[in-house]
Amino acid sequence: MLVKEKIKNETLFTLLETDMPDFPKYTTQLMNLANQNSQGTRPQFVGQMSELIQEFDGESIDEWKAWYLKKNPHAIDDATERIFSMIKKLKQSMREITKDMVREWVTDLIITKTYTGFNTQMAILKYLANSYDAQWRAASPAEEAQNIDGVVGAAKVSIKPDSFKGMLQLPFEIKVHEIYYKKMKDGVLIEYDKAAFEADIKA
């Protein structure tokens, strides 16, 4: 019978004969955030760690430290500067945060982003209709049963996340334009056969 056992970090550090760092509460979360924003430990700055550790043939953390610093003598200092610079910017930003701002952020998260997240299909239908100066409508129940999500002009469309590529199987012999979308940090990326869509939209 398969069993699962957790090896705690404290145990891992002991087994590997290394010291477990002790940081004040919340500081690692802030440093992680600063690192993400500054990209201080990206491979182009500190090297591809998964490859470097494979090259290393020593047996202790002290040997690893010496080996790494010989190959990348400025990496840790450079990453530290990038991250600490971002920490200072975060400090300034935190001074600007008010309770009203937090309320506005929470409202945006719960109300606006939830609504827009669940209505991506409608937004894409409207976007396409506006782009081609056409009318649009949501699919009828009968059309939904055929994997149609809406109609723009005369073109029937199926709108799915890009993870659905190659998975869509229409049960009937009808022409449906497949539109795939991927949510990005700054919007939604859509992918479709534009020429075919344009040919059918005014059919």
For 175-200, the pLDDT digits (tens) are: 889 899 888 877 889 999 888 888 88
Q: What is the pTM of this model?
A: 0.63
155-168 burial, b for 16+ CB within 10 Å, e for fewer?
A: bbbbbbeeeeeeee
In a domain, 172, yes or no: yes
103 part of a folded domain: no
Task: Say what the pLDDT of residue 20 is.
Answer: 80
pLDDT digits (tens, 9 = 90+) for 92-142: 999 999 999 999 999 998 898 778 766 888 889 999 999 999 999 989 988
Give the number of other Cβ atoms within 10 Å of residue 101's Cβ: 10
**Surface-to-core class of residue 151, CB atoms within 10 Å of its CB (0-12 exposed, 13-18 middle, 19+ buried):** buried
Give the side-chain half-sphere CA count within 13 A for 161. Answer: 6
Helix orientation angle between 75-96 and 27-38, rounded to the nearest 10 degrees: 110
Alpha carbon distance 13, 131 (integer Å): 58
Backbone angles phi, psi at 23, to 5 degrees: -105, 150
Q: Is residue 104 part of a domain?
A: no
Residue count (the chain): 203
**pLDDT per residue as tens digits for the range 89-104:** 999 999 999 999 999 9
59: containing domain: 9-96
pLDDT tens per residue across span 15-30: 788 888 888 999 999 9
Average pLDDT, stretch 155-167?
A: 82
Within a domain: 35: yes
Whether 130 and 182 map to the same domain: the answer is: yes
Predicted local confidence at residue 203, as pLDDT = 61
What residue spans of 27-181 are helical by DSSP H? Answer: 27-38, 43-46, 49-55, 61-71, 75-96, 99-107, 114-118, 120-131, 141-144
Q: Is the pLDDT of residue 172 over 50?
A: no
**Number of domain units in the chain:** 2
Taking the C-alpha atoms of residue 93 and residue 62, their distance in angstroms, rounded to an integer, is 38
End residue of a domain, out of 68, 96, 124? 96
Do the domain assignments include residue 110? no
Of 65, 96, 127, the position where a domain reaches its end is: 96
At residue 163, the pLDDT reads 81
CB 125 within 8 Å of CB 138: yes
**Higher pLDDT residue, 87 or 13?**
87
